[in-house]
Amino acid sequence: MVDQVEPILEVSGLVKHYPLTQGILFKKQVGAVKAVDGVDFTLNRGETLGIVGESGCGKSTVAKMLVNLEQPTQGLIKYKGEDIGKLSAKALKSVRRNIQMVFQDPYTSLNPRMTVGDIIGEPYEIHPEVAPKGDRRKKVQELLDVVGLNPEYINRYPHQFSGGQRQRIGIARGLALRPEVIVADEPVSALDVSVQAQVINLMAALQSDFELSYVFIAHDLSIVRHISDRVGVMYLGRIVEIGRDQEIYDHPTHPYTQALLSAVPVPDPGAREHRERIILAGDVPSPTDIPSGCRFRTRCWKARERCALEVPLLAVPAEFRMTSGPAAHDSACHFAEEKTVVPPEGEGNGPG
């Protein structure tokens, strides 16, 4: 956990729209799926930025754009101050070496026809300058040892490992090129709860040993709190609140964040009795037909006419701008507040 302010990644106005077309021979665009619709954040050197939100909010699309698996429709991604969208092929290859990804599903992200040694060593085929051929087997075995696997397993195949072990192999592959940034796209969501803790603790230890910066994407709020320095909450293609982990979890100011946190299981029965659950009415709007103004207003109990007319900016709410307390962090809500009145069940809809 660090407090340095040295951005290694800067994301500004990031947009990814997938066109919807009609027709077979003469395709005509009739709309777009707005998967990501204006995302801004920075990742400081040595920190972990957690990005949370429900399924379909655009988290994984952001991850793919960060590692250049998807091209943005609009917006900038800067690595060490350079716009990666304007780099030459040679320079982009260097950036991709330094920004690696750990995928969600350890069962489909590893080639079943390749041995563990080939899987972890494959990045060296693309970047031979990192490891000459004579040193690759030794380096792969060292990486297996680093992630807690027996180096003698180098000739085994993925089907011979458990889910947690497979994810360790995926992490080892991500570390092979000694990157500076790891984008982890829900790396433990497919694992048993007991194994999740082991993988999270491993990633936390590796961050210090390898001087890594993480973008950690998940939908489990408790896991994100355990590993993150800062947390961004996404809803329908945008970040609606972002701040230090303690600020977000102990002093949420956006209604959506408050609703998410009210649903987190609490092990203490006494604490559960005194906690009020926020039940949101309605469903998440379609990304092809996003509401005007605030996109959360159709489910928000505080929504007013202004919410339908003005898009709220991601900024420190006016009532907290003159303070330095934990509530003074960015929130995209016209009526943000540290504490909220819980709506009666079934009255979560704002103006349509």
User: Hey, what domains does the chain have and what are their CATH numbers?
Assistant: 7-235 (3.40.50.300), 259-331 (no CATH)
> Would you say residue 143 has pLDDT above 90?
yes
Q: Do 306 and 300 form a contact (C-beta atoms < 8 A)?
A: no
pLDDT at 248: 93
Distance CA 256, CA 183 (A): 25
Q: Which of 193, 204, 142 is nearest to 163 (CA)?
A: 193
- B/e letters for 318-334, b = 16+ CB within 10 Å, e = fewer, are eebeeeeebbbbbbbbb
Mean pLDDT score, 9-35: 90
Backbone angles phi, psi at 340, to 5 degrees: -130, 150
> Would you say residue 2 has pLDDT above 70?
no
Q: Assign 3-class secondary structure to 6-58.
A: CEEEEEEEEEEEEEEEECCCCCEEEEEEEEEEEEEEEEECCCEEEEECCCCCC
> Would you say residue 351 has pLDDT above 70?
no
Confidence band for 279, pLDDT divided at 50, 70 and 90: confident
Q: Which of 180, 256, 191, 194 is nearest to 218 (CA)?
A: 191
Question: What number of other Cβ atoms are within 10 A of residue 119's Cβ?
Answer: 22
Q: Which of 313, 160, 338, 159 is nearest to 246 (CA)?
A: 338
| Angle subtended by helix axes 136-146 and 116-126, to nearest 10 | 120
> Would you say residue 204 has pLDDT above 90?
yes
> Would you say residue 345 has pLDDT above 60?
no
308-326 residue pLDDT tens: 999 999 998 877 776 767 7
> Would you say residue 342 has pLDDT above 90?
no
**Secondary structure of residue 182 in the 3-state scheme:** strand
> Would you say residue 4 has pLDDT above 70?
no
Confidence band for 271, pLDDT divided at 50, 70 and 90: low
Mean pLDDT score, 211-220: 94
62-77 residue pLDDT tens: 999 999 999 999 999 9
